Structure 1
Amino acid sequence: MPPKLAVWKFASCDGCQLSLLDCEDELLTLAGEVEISHFLEASSMIAPGPYDVSLVEGSISTPADAERIRHIRRVSRRLVTIGACATAGGIQALRNYADTEEYRSVVYAKPEYVATLAGSTPISAHVPVDFELRGCPIDRSQLLEVISAYLAGRRPGIPDHPVCFECKMRGTVCVMVAHGTPCLGPVTHTGCGAICPAYGRGCYGCFGPATRPNLGSLKTWLGSIGMSRPDVDRAFATFNVAAFEEQPDDPP
């Protein structure tokens, strides 16, 4: 029997699942090597578990979500979270720093019918995760590497250095040094190919914090080029707001 692959969605925009569909030719090859047992973005066919590899997109934001992810963990040999929502709570984690009950009472006519948790949290806050694939959205070549690695029984070969390394490798002039452009590249996990700096824009931190990011140093530098502290905080409050908030300003 071929290995079983399942893809699951929680609170998210579906962009990371679409990254898998965008693999096109590679996906056809993958489909010949595995049984895609659960992937509602692509097919209504559902095969029962257990599953060899489960890819999980989205954050946990309701009690039902919390129960469902525990079930998925029980029936999955390997569980891989994909994207900023699943690995860090996503941009919807901005609600973690506000009054969710107030929002619910203002937005919904019958708030008592809306079951929600106080915050939006990553999958790892609820169940053990075998691997986290960062990005908003994820990089499809990295996704294929993760799937191939687990099907082959090895650890995925995903680099964890900052985006600055990618700028150096592609010969991109540093937008911070050359132009004084605010950029989160020094503290952001690699994976995007340094697309934004290649077009003269600063990194927005789509792939979340790199390993041991020196946030304090970067925040000081951003302040030195004229950014106010609220503007600096706002720069980090996007796709991976909760992940950056959890990092100390100065690594140990």
Structure 2
Amino acid sequence: MAATKTRPRLAVFKLASCDGCQLTLLDCEDELLTLAGEVDISHFLEASSAVEPGPYDLSLVEGSITTAEDAERIRTIRAASRHLVTIGACATAGGIQALRNFADVDEFRRTVYAHPEYISTLATSTPVSAHVDVDFELRGCPIDRRQLIEVITAFLAGRRPDVPNHSVCFECKRRGTVCVTVAHGTPCLGPVTHAGCGALCPAYHRGCFGCFGPSGSVNLPALIPLLRRDGLDEDDVERFLHTFNTAAFDEELGK
């Protein structure tokens, strides 16, 4: 009698985040049904309360490290995972909550909470890769469903994901979108932002806001004079960069 083939085990975990990247997986609909037939979804609290212990063949992790408990938990997840992939701006760059890295987190606690003594948090919000080894980082706020399916399929098939590392400008050219900066003088982070969104904002005559973080080949200092030429002062430029991937863009500037 032939032995029953064991299906790969998939786990999805959440740290400090909004759940948007996990919802991207749920939004895959038909693809998710096919995926569910090929793997055992062993841990995915967004979809089911059923939890099976590791080890897992592939773990997807959403969210940044913002508490001591997060830091301990990600080490446990890493130890239980053959492959670990971080998904979204929070997990790959610290997310919007990394704005705390440039301010006084104790002041935030006192301002926001009536009883700050009950709030336990770290002074910084950091990506998962700052704490454990990561096999692949899938960027975006939120991530792109096509890229997510490609990453899952690739790891289950034992190959490297085919996710481009070029900028949003390539996507503008591919869909025939006129450059909003050249044609209209609109500030845009497309030249330094990782592709994956399909150049959504420029297609609607808006500048890219950097949702997918820095691309693989970034010359951010060269872009800043163009942003100022197009009407942004120093404070405007800082606010423009301090959104979804604030810590990652500041790292590119050497801050």
* TM-score, normalised with respect to structure 1: 0.97
Kept in 1: contact 2:166–2:217 (CA 8 A): no
Residues 151-184 of structure 1 show CA distances to partners (whole Å, capped at 9, x for unaligned) of 0000000000000000001100000000001100
The yes-or-no answer on 1:232 pairing with 2:232 is: no
The yes-or-no answer on 1:44 pairing with 2:49 is: yes
Kept in 1: contact 2:11–2:58 (CA 8 A): yes
The yes-or-no answer on 1:168 pairing with 2:160 is: no
* TM-score, normalised with respect to structure 2: 0.96
Runs of 4+ with >3 A deviation: none
3-state SS, counterpart of residue 86 of structure 2: strand
Could you say which residue in structure 1 is the equivalent of 2:117?
A: 112
* Whole-angstrom distance in 1 between the partners of 2:187 and 2:234: 13
Compute the displacement of 1:212 (Å). 2.8
* Whole-angstrom distance in 2 between the partners of 1:108 and 1:198: 41
Amino acid corresponding to residue 42 of structure 2 in structure 1: S
> Of residues 139, 142, 165 in structure 1, which corresponds to 2:144?
139
Compute the displacement of 1:191 (Å). 0.2
Could you say which residue in structure 2 is the equivalent of 1:241?
A: 246
- Any gaps of 5 or more consecutive residues in structure 1? none
Could you say which residue in structure 2 is the equivalent of 1:148?
A: 153
Residues 165-221 of structure 1 show CA distances to partners (whole Å, capped at 9, x for unaligned) of 000011000000000011000000000000000011100000000113111111011
Compute the displacement of 1:34 (Å). 0.2
CA RMSD of aligned residues (A): 0.8
Compute the displacement of 1:106 (Å). 2.4
* Whole-angstrom distance in 1 between the partners of 2:231 and 2:111: 36
Residues 68-88 of structure 1 show CA distances to partners (whole Å, capped at 9, x for unaligned) of 000000000000000000000
Could you say which residue in structure 1 is the equivalent of 2:8?
A: 3
What does 1:210-225 align with in structure 2 at a 5 Å threshold? 210-225=215-230
* Whole-angstrom distance in 2 between the partners of 1:28 and 1:213: 38
Compute the displacement of 1:105 (Å). 2.1
Amino acid corresponding to residue 132 of structure 2 in structure 1: V
* Whole-angstrom distance in 2 between the partners of 1:225 and 1:75: 49
The yes-or-no answer on 1:93 pairing with 2:126 is: no
Could you say which residue in structure 1 is the equivalent of 2:85?
A: 80
> Of residues 201, 209, 214 in structure 1, which corresponds to 2:214?
209
Compute the displacement of 1:126 (Å). 0.6
Compute the displacement of 1:108 (Å). 2.0
Residues 43-75 of structure 1 show CA distances to partners (whole Å, capped at 9, x for unaligned) of 000011000000000001000000000000000
Amino acid corresponding to residue 166 of structure 2 in structure 1: H
* Whole-angstrom distance in 2 between the partners of 1:88 and 1:41: 22
* Whole-angstrom distance in 2 between the partners of 1:190 and 1:57: 19
* Whole-angstrom distance in 2 between the partners of 1:153 and 1:75: 18
3-state SS, counterpart of residue 36 of structure 1: strand
Give the length in aligned residue pairs: 249
Compute the displacement of 1:233 (Å). 1.1
Deviates more, 1:74-83 or 1:105-114: 105-114
Compute the displacement of 1:248 (Å). 3.1
Could you say which residue in structure 2 is the equivalent of 1:67?
A: 72
Compute the displacement of 1:102 (Å). 1.3
* Whole-angstrom distance in 2 between the partners of 1:232 and 1:182: 9
- Any gaps of 5 or more consecutive residues in structure 2? 1-5
Could you say which residue in structure 2 is the equivalent of 1:187?
A: 192
